[in-house]
C-alpha cells in the first residue's frame, strides 16, 4: 500500500507557505501500512487531534480556613488521538495503520484488532523560522539538520519536531455514507501507551531538557513561620491567631 497510498496523483505533494506560525500542511503523520515494511506518510488526513488529561487534586487542611495548601498532579490518563481521513478504495483506515482490511485482507472490525502499532508525527519547521532561530542572539535551540534522515523520514535535511506515539490501540471507529454527500470520511479514536520525543533517549528526572528552572513558581521559595504561642488558652482569654 505504500505505493497505492502515496504515489498516485491524489497524494501529490505541493508547496506550503513559510511562516513563523505552525500550519497544518507542514504536519506529517506516519505509520506502517498493511502491505509495507517501513513507515509511510498517511495521505488525505482531514484532522489529527491528539489530546490528554490529568486530574489535579487539591490538598486542604481543617482549621486553616478556605485555603489550598498544595495542588498535586494526579495520574495522567492515556493520550487519545482522533483521526479523520477520507476513505480510499485502495487504502481504508485500518490499512494505513497496519491492519489487513479493505482489499488487503479480512479485517473489518475492532474485534480483529490484535496487535498495537506506532504512529509518528513530524512537524516540519519552516525555513523562515529556522532562519530567525539561527540569526537570533538568544541561542534558540532547533533540531539539527539531518536528524530525521537516519530515521527514514526526511531526505532533505530540514528541521522538524518529532513525536513518537507508541503502543497504539484503536478504541473507536466510525464511517458515514450519506445521500447528500459524496465523500466518505472514516473516523477513529486511538489510545496511546507512551509518547516520546526520541526513541534513543530516556527521560531523566534531572534533565535540563524538561523545564527551565528560572520559570519555577515563586511559591516554592516562600517560607511560612508559624507564630509561637498561638494555641488559645483554656480560659478563652487568648486571641486566636489568623487561620485558626
Residues 6+ positions from 9 with CB-CB distance below 8 Å: none
* Residue-level pLDDT at 146: 35
- Name the pairing type of β-strands 45-51 and 70-76: unpaired
pLDDT reading at 47 higher than 80? yes
What percent of the chain shows pLDDT beyond 90?
Answer: 50
pLDDT band at 101 (very low <50, low <70, confident <90, very high): very high
The three-state secondary structure class of 14 is: coil
Cell of 211: 523545564
**Phi/psi of residue 32, nearest 5 degrees:** -90, 120
Intra-chain end-to-end CA distance of the chain, in Å: 70
Cα(88)–Cα(72) distance, rounded to whole angstroms? 46
pLDDT band at 152 (very low <50, low <70, confident <90, very high): very low
Residues 6+ positions from 169 with CB-CB distance below 8 Å: 113, 116, 190, 191, 193
| 192 or 18, higher pLDDT | 192
Convert the pLDDT of each residue in 170-206 to its tens digit. Answer: 999 999 999 999 999 999 999 999 999 877 777 777 7
Convert the pLDDT of each residue in 138-149 to its tens digit. Answer: 444 444 433 443
pLDDT reading at 150 higher than 70? no
pLDDT band at 125 (very low <50, low <70, confident <90, very high): confident
* Residue-level pLDDT at 5: 63
* Residue-level pLDDT at 11: 76
Mean pLDDT score, 55-76? 93
87 alpha-carbon distance from chain centroid: 24
Q: What is the mean pLDDT of the chain?
A: 82
* Residue-level pLDDT at 188: 97
Cα(136)–Cα(67) distance, rounded to whole angstroms? 44
The three-state secondary structure class of 54 is: strand
Per the CB < 8 A criterion, the answer to whether 34 and 23 are in contact is no
* Residue-level pLDDT at 136: 53
Cell of 4: 497505492
pLDDT reading at 18 higher than 50? yes
Convert the pLDDT of each residue in 19-39 to its tens digit. Answer: 889 999 999 999 999 988 889
DSSP string, 83-122: EEEE-BTTB-HHHHTT--BGGG-SB-SGGG--S-EEEEEE
| 24 or 235, higher pLDDT | 24
Cα(140)–Cα(133) distance, rounded to whole angstroms? 6
The three-state secondary structure class of 55 is: strand
Convert the pLDDT of each residue in 204-220 to its tens digit. Answer: 777 677 888 888 888 88
Cell of 204: 531523566
Sign of the CA dihedral 167, 188, 81, 155? positive
Per the CB < 8 A criterion, the answer to whether 1 and 107 are in contact is no
* Residue-level pLDDT at 173: 97
Amino acid at each position: 500500500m505504500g505505493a497505492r497510498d502515496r504515489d498516485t496523483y491524489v497524494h501529490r505533494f505541493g508547496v506550503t507557505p513559510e511562516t513563523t506560525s505552525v500550519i497544518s500542511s507542514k504536519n506529517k503523520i506516519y505509520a506502517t501500512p498493511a502491505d509495507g515494511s517501513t513507515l509511510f506518510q498517511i495521505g488525505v488526513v482531514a484532522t489529527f487531534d491528539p489530546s490528554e488529561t490529568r486530574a489535579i487534586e487539591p490538598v486542604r487542611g481543617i482549621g486553616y480556613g478556605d485555603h489550598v495548601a498544595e495542588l498535586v498532579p494526579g495520574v495522567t490518563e492515556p493520550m487519545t488521538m482522533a483521526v479523520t481521513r477520507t476513505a480510499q478504495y485502495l487504502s481504508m483506515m485500518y490499512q494505513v495503520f497496519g491492519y489487513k482490511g479493505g482489499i488487503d485482507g479480512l479485517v473489518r472490525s475492532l474485534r480483529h484488532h490484535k496487535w498495537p502499532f506506532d504512529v509518528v508525527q513530524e512537524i516540519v519547521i519552516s525555513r523562515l523560522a529556522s532562519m530567525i532561530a539561527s540569526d537570533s542572539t538568544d541561542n534558540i535551540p532547533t533540531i539539527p539538520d539531518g536528524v530525521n534522515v537516519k530515521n527514514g523520514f526526511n531526505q532533505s535535511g530540514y528541521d522538524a519536531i518529532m513525536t513518537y506515539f507508541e503502543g497504539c490501540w484503536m478504541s473507536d471507529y466510525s464511517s458515514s455514507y450519506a445521500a447528500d454527500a459524496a465523500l466518505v470520511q472514516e473516523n477513529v479514536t486511538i489510545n496511546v501507551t507512551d509518547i516520546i520525543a526520541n526513541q534513543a533517549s530516556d527521560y531523566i528526572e534531572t534533565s535540563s531538557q524538561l523545564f527551565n528552572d528560572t520559570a519555577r513558581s515563586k511559591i516554592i521559595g516562600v517560607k511560612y513561620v508559624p507564630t509561637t504561642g498561638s494555641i488559645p488558652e483554656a480560659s478563652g482569654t487568648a486571641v486566636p491567631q489568623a487561620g485558626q
